[in-house]
Structure formats: C-alpha cells, structure tokens
Structure 1
Amino acid sequence: MASSRGWWAGLRARAGLGDPGPRAAARQAAALLAFSGLAALLGLLAGSPRPGPLIAIAGTDLGLAALIWMLPWSRWPPLAPVTATPFALAVLGFSTWAFGGVAAGTGPLYVLFFAWLGLHFPRWVIWALSPFAVVSYVLPLLLTNQPPDVVGSVVGLIPVAVGVALMINARVGALRAALEQLSGVERWRRGLTSAVAHDVRSPLSTIQLVLEMIRDGDLPPEKRDSFIESALRQSARLGRLASGLLDLDRVESRGTLRLELTPICLRKACQDAVGFLNVGPVAIEVPPELTVTADPQRLEQIVVNLVGNAAKYGVAPVEITAGPATGGMIWLAVRDHGAGVAPADQDRLFARYGTSGDLPGSVGLGLWLVRELARAHGGDTCYEDADPGARFTVTLPSAA
C-alpha cells in the first residue's frame, strides 16, 4: 500500500497535477477533457447508433487535452487557464446537441467543470462563467426541441454545480491560509533561532571575557569599573531579550501582559534605548518637555525595535522625532533614508509573520510587537513613505 501511494505521488509530481499554479490547473483541465474523450470512445466501442458524433467529440476532447497539456502555462498569469473554459463548454454543448438533447451524460461533466473552477480560481470567476455554462447547457436542448421540463433541468443542475464549486473554493481557501500560516511559523522558527543565537553570542562573549580577566588577574584596576559596567549592560541586554520573548506569548494571549505605567521623559527614554544599540549615529530631535505615560521597559522595546529596523534595513541617517497629537496623545516617529517599503508589502508590515520575516536576520515579529505594545498603551502604530525612506509613527498617551 505504501509503495502504491509513493508511486501515485511520484506520478502526480511528474505530471504537475499536484502543484499549485496555472500549470496544475491547466493540466487538470486537460485530464478532464481526456476523460470526456475516453468516455466517448467507450461509447463508440459499445456500439452506439451515432458513431459519427462520438468520433468528433472524442477527437475534439483528446486534441484539446493534448494542446492544453503541452502549453507553457507556468510562464503565464494564474488566471490564464480560464481561457480554456469556452472550448470546454462548447464541447459539452456540442455533445448534448449531438445526442439529440440527452443531457444525462454531460450533466456530471458540468459538475466536474465547476469543481475544477472552485479548486483553482477566485469566486468571481465561478460567478462570471455561470451564465456561459447555462447557455451551453440550455441552447442544445432548445435546438433539439426538448420539452420544458427537460430545459428547466438547468435550474437544478447549474446551481448545484455552482454550489459545489463555492464549497470547494471555501475549503481550498481555508487550507491555503493554513499552509501560509504554517509556512510563516516555520520561517519564524528559523529566523528566531538565527536571531536569538546572534543576539546572545555578543553579550555572552563580553561577559565571558570580563570574567576570565577577573579570574586571571589580567584586569587593570583603572579599567575594572568600566569593564564590569560593560558586563552588567550585556547581562541586562540578555534579560531584555528573554523578557521580549516572553512578551510575545503575553501579548498574544491578551490580558496577561502587565504594564507598569509611569510618566517618562520621552527624549531621555529614546537616548537610553539608542544607547543599547550598536548602530551608527541616530539624530534624536525630541523636545525635552514631552512626557508620556508608559511602561519604561515596553517603551524601550518599541524604540529599540524601530531604530534597529531602520538601521538594519534602511539608509542613514536615522532620525527620531516627536510632537503632540490630538486626543491627549504624543506621536513618536522613526525615519530612515532608504528605499522605503514596497507597496505590495505594506499590508503585511504589521502581520505576525510579515515582510520583515523574509529579510536576513529578522523573525518577522518586531513590527507586530511594536504595534501590539502601542495598542496595549492605548495608542497605535502606522507606516508612511518618507520620500525618501520609511517612517514608522507610534502614538502614546501624554503624561500631561
């Protein structure tokens, strides 16, 4: 059984039937047409009284199937295989007409056709092609003078086919969303492992160096305090990293994140946060009189994440500005002078596994955490093009 499953999976992979995209959609359409052509050939072998139409139907189906199979669909847009649907509907209509208006054989093929649409294309494609399917089904019945009850069978068949397509489309959409989520989680896991290893290595190296110098007696007395202070800063950095990782779970679970709100001088908070970063010069243009009501540690996380992103993915200089906003709020903006964020990626900026997760050394959580922490304070975060560069603006409640 396992070997047969492996053989079938290998066959599907080589045929390109299981991969997403226009190539798989087109080849599945070709398979449906080939199935219809083979059914016509079986009817011919069974001694049908109308061999001529059967031969025409089989030849048309198999010819279209071969043509659709060989075309380079992978080079074309995802909706390109929809262009094959008029030919498929025309063949179904011709089949119904050729057999004197007997639609019993083509009805299941209409359902299969709509199931294929639901599997590969958006809902609007299903609705857009429904009228064409009605015409291809009803017109042969009218041309062969079928009674009204036979023509009226379209009221049952096409809605059922559309309903099947919509159910399949909804299920496929849910599965694709789940797969995208799993892909994001895996990307996040790899990025988190890399980022944590990178962020932990440097502080540990500093602490280990200081401890070894103290142990070996190689630490000059005049530099003792500065070296120990450096080790303490690095150990505090490790503590903030661990706290930040815990915050991810606390923020997501909602309600377990506790804020210790206090009035904070925004300028000094920005200066202290930038001091923990090993980046180039950062221009802090924040009026000294601005104070916010915030949790000191969470505010530091916000500034560190925004300035770190600007320094890593943008172009110097990095600027921090702030000012009063409406509703008793204060805005804080971090700007770089790089290329900014592409319009296609802006909608995913603050997603949990967003655009930044595709960049080296990032786990795609920094901007998500910034927004969640800002909202926990009663504010928010937004992005805008700085022309040139990117500007991320956070709003926080004013202490005034």
Structure 2
Amino acid sequence: MLILVAGLLALLGILNDPGHAGRLVTVAGCDLALAAAALLFPWRRTGRHAPALLGLAGFAVIGLSTWSFGGIAAGTGPFLVLLYAWAALHFPRWILLAYLAPATAAYLVPLILTRQPDMVLGSAAILMPIALAVALLIEAQARYLRDERERLARIEQWRTAMVNTLAHDVRSPLTNVEGVLELLKDTADGRTGRLLDAALRQTARILRLADGLLDLQRIDSSGHLRLDRETHPARKLVLEALTYVRADAEVRVEIDEDLAIHVDKQRFEQILLNLITNALRYGEPPVVVSITRDAGFDRLEVRDHGPGVPDSLRANLFGQFAVGSKEGVGLGLWIVRQLATAHGGRAVAEARDPGVAMVVTFPSPTAG
C-alpha cells in the first residue's frame, strides 16, 4: 500500500509539474508495477523475512526518482523514512541495520550522479541516522507488543484449559454424589429428608454452574450463547431461586404477583444468585430484590444497604477479573454481564443512599 500510494502521488504530481510528465509517469509505473508484484506474489510460500526484499526494491525506486528529477530529494527523503518505518513494524533490527547501506546508496548515488553540492550530499549524514533511529524505536515497541500479545495468548490458553478442566472434573464426582443422595432420600423421612432435599438442590445448582462455566467459555470463543427463553411468573421464579440462599440471609422480595418475565430460567437464576451472593458478601442487610417494567424492558434490581461502591470503581464492577475485595468483585459480575447481554439487556451498578443497586435489564415479553 505504501508503494501504491507513492505511485499515485507521482501521477498526481503531473498536475503540478507537467514539464516533467514523462519522468513522473516512469516513476509512477515503477511504483505501480512494484506494488502489483508485492500484492500478487505468494509470500506465504517464502521465508518469514522474504518480504524485506520489497524494501530493497523500494530504495531502488527512490534512487530512480531522485535521479529523474535532477537530484531533487525533497519528496524522496520522507518516503525513505516511511519505508524504514514499515520495515520496523514487520522485521527484526538486523534487517534494519542491513538496510542502512542500500538506503544510503539510494539517497546519495543520484545526488552524486547529478553533481549536487557538498552541502546537499552532507544531508545524508542527518537523514540516515534519523531514519535508522526512528526505525529502531518502532521495532523495539513492535517487538514488545508482539511479545505481550504472545504472553496474553498463553495466559488465555491456560485459562481456557483450566475452566474446561474444572467444569468437566466437577461434573463427574457430583453426578455420583447426586445418585447417592437420591438413594438415601428414598429411605429417609422427616428432618433427614428435608436435609437431603436441600443437599440435592445445591448439588443440582453446582452442576448447572459447571454447565454455565462451559457456556461462558463458549461465549469467549464464539461470542454466542444459546438461551432457552420462556415466559415465567417473576415472583415465583425469584422465590424458587432463593431456596439456594442460606436460610438466615435477610433478603426481601418486592415483585408484583402478576408480573411475568421472558428469560432463560437457568441463566436468570445464575444472574440472581450471583447478585444476591455479592450483596450479602460485600454489602449489609437487608438485600432487596425487585423487578419492574419500563419502556419495553424488565428491570431486575438487587440492592444492599451497605457502604456502597466508589464512583471510580462502579463503572468497572462488571469487568472480567475485577479486583476481589471489599471494594470490588471477581468473576461473578462479569458472568452476570455476559448473561444479560446474551438476553439482549445490560448490567450496571447504580449508587443508592445507602448501598448500591445491581441492575440487570431483560426485554419484556411484549417488547418488539
């Protein structure tokens, strides 16, 4: 693209200097031919650094252009620096150092052939060190960014493997535990039966969370999460989810009996429990759960009455791997945001006095 732009600029130069139209057409033809060769040549079949040969051809065109205009290098000098900058983005420093001799020759030889004064020749002593220094700085930064990208890619691979392993390894023993609990429940009664029911509910929830981890991993890789959305009575859905919360938790539900929401039941439960758990852990009771409808969206709000969240942190609460402390949360709220987005809604934190409200919206059954 850089060489193509140079060729087009040479053609545009005819408008300003029609007296040298023949030379400009020659230079433009060389640039356009080189650009076409660069585009059509099968570089993937060659070595990693083979495209560096384009730089040598580019320097040759620079020399031709300077010679064609009688040693005027006002336009070719900046292009030489740009060519060096391009090389710095793609090739190691040894290639930049190897470029120094042909680049200097491309700049000086036309000036010598056209008998330019010593002052003009001496400009190479300024231009070439500047071009090389700029290129080395760009190469160092580009190399750092490439190394950082590779490091992040390795971390992501490790995280993906860890999540997949955790999800799969949790399912197998829990399935066996669930089977044993089912057998014990068949022969239990009274208080023991109720305890086994609670244990089965929690086991089922952990299994669903394992499935959720796998689903969220698919969100990272494909950007999509399949939802099984149906219309459910909102209050009943929330009360069922609260059976997984510890009995002594002070949670108050403020939802109309007649309100229905259109959600994936399992994902909604995951959202709600993550928000309630977060409120109980970092806030103060009572935790108030409410759902209201407004402008085509159902608004789930989970509010605590604790010290609240600083303004500087509130905007980042739903980010992945947010800080886990009294002033932040971990992965739970990121999962909430992903599930809210999959439903076509969003998740935000809003300040309250006292406390903070975690708000998640869902398109209402009558929307659209």
Q: How high is the TM-score relative to the length of structure 1?
A: 0.50
Counterpart of 1:252 (choices 220, 239, 248) is 220
Identity rate, percent: 34
Count matched residues.
249
Q: Report what 1:127 is aligned to.
A: none
Q: Deviations over 1:291-319 (max 9, x none)?
A: 22111111111111111112122232222
The one-letter code of the counterpart of 2:344 is G
Distance (whole Å) between structure 2 residues aligned to residue 191 and residue 337 of structure 1:
33
Moved more, 182-191 or 224-233: 182-191
Q: How does 1:188-199 map to 2 (within 5 A)?
A: none
- Shift of the 315–199 alpha-carbon distance from structure 1 to 2, 3 Å rule, reads farther
Q: Report what 2:198 is aligned to.
A: 230
Identify the structure with bigger relative contact order (alpha carbons < 8 Å, sequence gap 6+).
1
Q: Report what 1:54 is aligned to.
A: none
DSSP 3-state at the match of 2:306: coil
Q: Report what 1:335 is aligned to.
A: 303
- Shift of the 231–320 alpha-carbon distance from structure 1 to 2, 3 Å rule, reads closer
- Contact 2:279 / 2:287 at 8 angstroms: preserved in 1? yes
Q: CA deviation at 1:320?
A: 1.9
User: Is 1:150 aligned to 2:119, yes or no?
Assistant: no
DSSP 3-state at the match of 2:258: coil
Structure 1 gap segments, 5+ residues each = 1-114, 116-145
Q: Report what 1:243 is aligned to.
A: 211
What RMSD in Å do the two structures reach over aligned CA positions?
Answer: 4.3
User: Is 1:169 aligned to 2:141, yes or no?
Assistant: yes
Q: How does 1:216-295 map to 2 (within 5 A)?
A: 219=188, 221-223=189-191, 225-254=193-222, 257-278=225-246, 280-295=249-264
- Shift of the 341–204 alpha-carbon distance from structure 1 to 2, 3 Å rule, reads farther
- Shift of the 149–190 alpha-carbon distance from structure 1 to 2, 3 Å rule, reads same
User: Is 1:299 aligned to 2:271, yes or no?
Assistant: no
Q: Deviations over 1:9-43 (max 9, x none)?
A: xxxxxxxxxxxxxxxxxxxxxxxxxxxxxxxxxxx
Counterpart of 2:289 (choices 306, 320, 326) is 320
Q: Report what 2:358 is aligned to.
A: 392
- Contact 2:304 / 2:357 at 8 angstroms: preserved in 1? yes
- Shift of the 297–344 alpha-carbon distance from structure 1 to 2, 3 Å rule, reads same
Q: How does 1:63-142 map to 2 (within 5 A)?
A: none
Distance (whole Å) between structure 2 residues aligned to residue 310 and residue 335 of structure 1:
7
Q: CA deviation at 1:161?
A: 2.0
The one-letter code of the counterpart of 2:204 is A
- Contact 1:188 / 1:364 at 8 angstroms: preserved in 2? no
Q: Deviations over 1:323-371 (max 9, x none)?
A: 2233x1122122223344455545543333x214x459x9943222211
Distance (whole Å) between structure 1 residues aligned to residue 315 and residue 138 of structure 2:
27
The one-letter code of the counterpart of 1:370 is V
- Shift of the 385–363 alpha-carbon distance from structure 1 to 2, 3 Å rule, reads closer
Q: CA deviation at 1:288?
A: 2.9
Q: CA deviation at 1:377?
A: 1.3
Structure 2 gap segments, 5+ residues each = 1-87, 89-117
Q: Report what 1:372 is aligned to.
A: 338
DSSP 3-state at the match of 1:355: coil
